A and B are shown apart, each in its own frame.
Chain A
Amino acid sequence: MEVLAQPAFEVDEKGYYGRFGGAYIPEMLYPNVEELRQQYLHIIADSGFEQEFRYLLRDYVGRPTPLYFAGRLSDKYHTNIYLKREDLCHTGAHKVNNTIGQILVAKRLGKQRIVAETGAGQHGVATATVCALMGLECIVYMGKLDIERQKPNVERMKMLGAKVVAATCGSQTLKDATNEAMRHWINNPTDTHYIIGSVVGPHPYPDMVARFQSVISEEIRQQLTEKIGRPNPDYVVACVGGGSNAAGAFYHFLNETDVKLVAIEAGGQGVTSGHSAATTALGKPGVLHGSRTILMQTEDGQVTEPYSISAGLDYPGIGPLHAHLYDSGRGIFASITDDEALQAGLELSRLEGIIPALETAHALAYLGRLNATPEEVVVVNLSGRGDKDLATYSKSLDL
């Protein structure tokens, strides 16, 4: 049951990672979140749960996902690059690891309906998928802007039987979809479970989601041992929207201090352009969506509307675990602009025949700045595939 092991960067009993985390929720949500807090560890420690989770990850999601040695990419950057192929998961991204786990939790809590938020639509699709699988009703809130820019995923959700509701407030992106999903949960407290799509939200969500995603680093360690004779790479690189794919890729390396953990945020049009989602570069401590974290905000504490070409990274905060990794210096944080990400997406397509999600392309773009040596080993978490982004790629790259 390594998936359930606790790292030293574990959440404490009050729900904090260092000074970040907690459960800053209105009283209306208290009974639901408290029920989940009291039960999640028991539920996921149960052997029946573990079996069902493992079975579905293997036979339904298609795990383990390959750890692929990217030869041509490695040549280009003069180092050894392995791609953790989360893009090959059923539904096309890592998001499904979490939705499988949470739907099993929801069933054990006796919930009949699922609500979720989505940015890129990958989490929405992964949620709609597991709801279809389990026969539960599914409602997905999605920013109106994201509905336009991630159309294929909207159509997939509908095909799967989910109801997609446009969030029309604020910047009409992920933050606003999250607000609406929380309001929906307030309005439907007893029969509904909220499947949050990243390591954000009130405790215990960040910890629960990180545990479900930790299968990524569990597999990386086994696969690296087989391939190079040791479990630890020198670097693990992942993009961070809320931070779930990064949390999963980092999880079993958190205490392995020889492994550098590199988290890539969306720089948008540039960190100082006023159109960015580079949370650690631009944010400071604050409270959003139930946790104390690092947050892009005005001097008055109003949440800033972020910007990124990538809907999945277009969020003004990061999960509290990542805020703690940043704060403690354990994580290396950097940002990549829209243009750099687009180029990196094109590069991976042409060098390796893999079209990455725009989110993932941000992590790939950092390879040019990493300066890894020819002896070193770099794992990039290939969090998702790029089919949903083809319209954006084609238009922006003039293909």
Chain B
Amino acid sequence: MSNRIVRLFAEKNKNLLNVYFTAGYPKLGDTVTILQALEEAGADLVEIGMPYSDPVADGPVIQQSNDQALENGMSLRILFNQLENIRATVKLPVLLMGYLNPVVQYGVENFVKKCSETGIDGVILPDLPLQEYLDDYHEIFRKHNLLNIFLITPQTSEARIRQIDSVSEGFIYMVSSASVTGSSGAIGSTQEDYFRRIEAMQLQNPTLIGFGISGNASFARACRYANGAIIGSAFIRVLQHSSDLRPDIHRFVGGVKGITTK
């Protein structure tokens, strides 16, 4: 049985939109509503953030959504309960993104099993180092058909990118610039040089560009150099100000993809 992420990239390799949102935000019970709305609106894959008290790779917008979600009572246990039946309605590949400590406390093997039972296809844990993953986690992930997605940045050496490419499956997450999430810096020529450099490496895995993608212009620009792009903070900002989630999500996703809605 192949993984939904792998199947997606086999079917479609251009202009893929991956949207991040924090589980349990703005309200504890919003997780599945947002997930379903993203699918209807035309997102290609989704990352659900597992909120954490100390998200060091995140800027203020995602930090605040993590704090709010925790205050709302979100936990991994509750998240898995909320997601229990998603595969009855949701076809999209779904990833969980978060930090290592809550996963370790849940129990790595339990976590991986639970992901697989729930129909989660991949995981992004920025503070799980490559070597530790390979030594201690890879077998468990493989056994349960769960992909671990690695990040590369403009500072990642070519040798390390090659190594990451050789152990990756699904896609590689290209962090657009040296920054935490939610930086306002637009995609400029430094980023484009880096995107071209990676493009020229002809990696075996598809790439998605994330961090600093905020709307149609930056999305389209990133898609010129990669198979798609990832939006996080800009979407969290929409949720933050939304009084009616579904139409707001439709409008936002349509806008990013360059489809105008009535």
Chain A residues at the B interface, C-beta cutoff of 8 Å:
14, 22-28, 30-32, 169-170, 175, 179, 182-183, 186-190, 285-290, 295, 297, 299-303
Contacts and interface: CB of A to CB of B under 8 A. Distances in A.
Contacts of B100: 24, 287
A183 B180 CA distance: 6
Given A289-B56, A301-B52, A303-B54, 14 more contacts: A22-B129, A24-B128, A25-B129, A26-B126, A27-B175, A28-B151, A32-B155, A170-B67, A179-B56, A183-B180, A285-B104, A297-B101, A301-B101, A302-B53
Contacts of A297: 101, 105
Contact of A28 (B52, B70, B104, B153): B153
Contact of B179 (A31, A179, A187): A187
12 contacts: A25-B129, A26-B56, A28-B180, A32-B155, A169-B63, A170-B67, A186-B57, A186-B179, A189-B155, A297-B101, A301-B52, A302-B52
B173 to A, nearest CB: 9
A189 B178 contact: yes
A32 B101 CA distance: 22
Ranked nearest first, the 6 interchain pairs of A and B with the lowest CB-CB distance are: A301-B105, A301-B102, A26-B126, A27-B151, A300-B75, A302-B53
A295 B57 CA distance: 20
A24 B127 contact: yes
A286 B155 contact: no
A285 to B, nearest CB: 8
A30 B175 CA distance: 13
Nearest to B106: A301
Contacts of B183: 187
A188 B179 CA distance: 8
Contacts of B175: 27-28
Interface string B104-137: 1110000000000000000000111101100000
Contacts of B150: 27
Interface of B: 52-54, 56-57, 59, 63, 67, 70, 75-77, 99-106, 126-129, 131-132, 150-153, 155-157, 160, 175, 178-180, 183
Nearest to A295: B101
B132 A24 contact: yes
Contacts of B53: 170, 302-303
A28 B178 contact: yes
A260 to B, nearest CB: 32
Contacts of B129: 22-25, 30
Contacts of B153: 27-28, 31
A25 B126 CA distance: 7
A31 to B, nearest CB: 4
A100 to B, nearest CB: 27
Q: Which residue, B77, B99, B106, has most C-beta atoms of chain A within 10 A?
A: B99
A26 B105 CA distance: 19
B178 A286 contact: no
Contacts of B157: 31
A301 B99 CA distance: 10
A300 B77 contact: yes
Given A22-B129, A27-B150, A188-B178, A286 B101 contact: yes
A314 to B, nearest CB: 15
Given A183-B180, A186-B179, A300-B102, A30 B57 contact: no
